Each structure stands twice: as structure tokens, then as C-alpha cells.
Amino acid sequence: MPQPATYDATSRINHWAIAIATIVVLCIGLYLGNFDGDRELRGNLRDFHKATGVLILVFGAWRVLWRLFQGFPAAVATLPSWQMTAAKIMHWVLLAAVIVMPLSGLLKTLFAGYPVSIYGIFSIPAPEKVEWVRDLAGQVHGIGGWILLVALLLHVGGAMKHHFIARDATLVRMLTGRSTRS
């Protein structure tokens, strides 16, 4: 399969929809994990966090499969090999996080004995409580959240470096689909 020169419209929409949802859910998760607040607000944020996480899992699975099917476009700039390797690792970490984070959160909740309501439309019922699954999923979700935060910051930082310092079309092609900067 030949490498595409840029990202098609489906890839761009998929990228930005998952990116925005992930950033929102990550911010809510960081708030819930690190700050006390109004009990009702925390409950509403938790429910939104869980429901949106399930949507991220569903659309994230599609995103990962689409990316595997489409492949990654070639780099628009000549980079040192360590930067190419770092970029590849970063993309795979982010793709893995789109599956691992919502799946671990879902397993943590379900195996703690709580159903997950999807915006009040329907619920995923909880199976029997299984503490080791809940605990393992909770550890993965907690540590994964910090890894995801660092990965997102590096990813955004890399995009900004390409756009403002290297002045290449890396960010432009994810925004517009054009493979050149004009």
C-alpha cells in the first residue's frame, strides 16, 4: 500500500473529533482526580466523563482501524532519525491511548459494580464485582491519564514546532489536507 501524501477528510475529522473529546475528558478526569468540589457538579462531570469515554472508545476503535488501513503519510520535512522515531512512537502512544484509556475506565467502573449511563439514553450494566479487575483497570486508567497528558503536550508541541519554527506543512495538512504550506 503506498503512503498517502496527506490526510483525507475522514482522517482529519476523525482526528479532531477524537482530539477534542479526549482533551475535554482528560481535563475533567484531572479535575475529578485532584480537586474537591460541589458534590452535584462532581457527579455530573463524572457521568459526562464516563459517557464520553465510551463514545471515544467506539469512535477511537474506528479511528485506529482507519489509520491502520490508510497508513501514515510520509513526513513533509527531512528530520533527524531520532525525531522520526519519536514521532512514530508518539502517534502509536496516542492511538493506543484512544483505546486503553476509555476501556480501562469502563472496566474500572463496571467491575466496581456500577453501570455506565450513556447520557441517560441507555446504560451498560455492571457484571459481578471483581476487585482485582477494578483495581488493575483503575491503575491503568490513572497512570495512563498522566501518560496521555504528557503525550498530548509533546504532540501539540511538535505540531507547533513544525508550524512556527520549521515552517513546514505538517500541521497544515492535518488542518486542511493540503500537503504544502502556502
Domains of the chain: residue spans and CATH: 9-175 (1.20.950.20)
Digit-coded pLDDT (tens) for 58-99: 999 999 999 898 888 888 778 889 999 999 999 999 999 999
Q: Looking at residue 96, what is its pLDDT?
A: 97
How much is the mean pLDDT over the chain? Answer: 94
Say which residue the cell 532519525 belongs to: 81
pLDDT at position 1: 61
